[in-house]
Amino acid sequence: MHRIKVRVVEDALDANNTIARANREDFDRAGVTVINLMSAPGAGKTALLERALDDLGDVRVAVLEGDVEGSLDAERLASLHVPVVQLNTSAGFGGECHLDANMVRSALSALPLADIDLLIIENVGNLVCPAEFRVGEDVRAMVCSVAEGEDKPLKYPLMFRACELAVVNKIDLIEHTDVDLDRLLANLQTVHPGIEHLICSARTGEGVDALRDWLIDKVAAARAGDGTFTPAGSAPA
């Protein structure tokens, strides 16, 4: 029984990767750089995007907003006058706690790929499942807030290993917590040595310029042909 279960999981991931590659081919044909942004619920993904997407220079951006239900975050980002497409997993996908490649593919026709340079996929809030499913992205990034505690990289290592960037958000709250920032960063390096990180506050704006520059740099790198596709669950070398 255990072998059958493992095989089913492998088959599901293989099928997901096949669709993810098809998504990636569509993104590449359109010349669109794709960032898969993940976090636990409430870490501040949307608030950071409200700040960082406000001025990307000549980079044209759109957002694919993933949630189980509702469109609250999509409505917030739409106020920036960028294209936003809502993708709810409750509508035909069983209320899944993550986005997979097939879900993203179902939304491609609603995205103005020919008119954008950068697509941000704001994944469903979850520190486990989203890390297992590639969706055709160029890069994966995750947000963790200091309010979550310094132990999260140790407790949910796959999420931190699967991402190229960790954004430590809500640094303005650190004095109101028992979190040791140095220990948090050390735990991050323990599970993913060499991972890039940024220290940010969506409330005060600290670190937002660095996040904006990171997004712009990823678009520039993709234009230069430096993008790579890695199978689901794999950590960068």
Mean pLDDT lowest among 10-14, 69-73, 112-116, 213-217:
10-14
Given pLDDT bands bounded at 50, 70 and 90, which one contains residue 140? very high
Rounded to the nearest integer, the mean pLDDT of the chain is 91
pLDDT for 220 beyond 60: yes
The residue with greater pLDDT, 229 or 194, is 194
pLDDT of residue 28: 96
Q: Which tokens in the block code for residue 207? A: 């670190």
For position 172, which CATH number holds? 3.40.50.300
Across the range 20-35, mean pLDDT stands at 97
pLDDT of residue 12: 72
pLDDT for 142 beyond 90: yes
Residue 237 within any structural domain of the chain: no
Do 199 and 171 touch, CB atoms closer than 8 A? yes
Task: Calculate helix-pair angle for 45-52, 208-223, nearest 10 degrees.
Answer: 80
Residue 230 within any structural domain of the chain: no
pLDDT of residue 232: 42
Across the range 146-172, mean pLDDT stands at 97
pLDDT for 99 beyond 70: yes
Question: What global pTM score does this model have?
Answer: 0.90
pLDDT of residue 13: 81
pLDDT of residue 226: 57
Looking at the structure of the chain, the number of domains it has is 1
- Whose tokens are 């986005």? That residue is 99
Residue 87 within any structural domain of the chain: yes
Residue 167 φ then ψ, to 5°: -105, 115
Q: Which tokens in the block code for residue 191? A: 């599970």
Across the range 213-236, mean pLDDT stands at 70
- Whose tokens are 């132990």? That residue is 151
Given pLDDT bands bounded at 50, 70 and 90, which one contains residue 11? low
Cβ-Cβ contacts under 8 Å for 28 (sequence gap 6 or more): 227
Torsion sign across C-alpha atoms 151, 157, 161, 162? negative
pLDDT of residue 91: 85
Residue 47 within any structural domain of the chain: yes
pLDDT for 128 beyond 60: yes
Across the range 78-103, mean pLDDT stands at 94
Across the range 67-73, mean pLDDT stands at 96
**pLDDT above 90 coverage of the chain, percent:** 84
DSSP lists the bridge partners of residue 84 as: 63
Residue 190 within any structural domain of the chain: yes
Across 56-173, the runs of DSSP E, i.e. the strands, are: 61-67, 84-88, 118-122, 139-145, 165-169
Residue 232 within any structural domain of the chain: no
pLDDT of residue 214: 98
pLDDT for 213 beyond 80: yes
Q: Could you tell me the residue range of the domain that residue 128 belongs to? A: 2-223
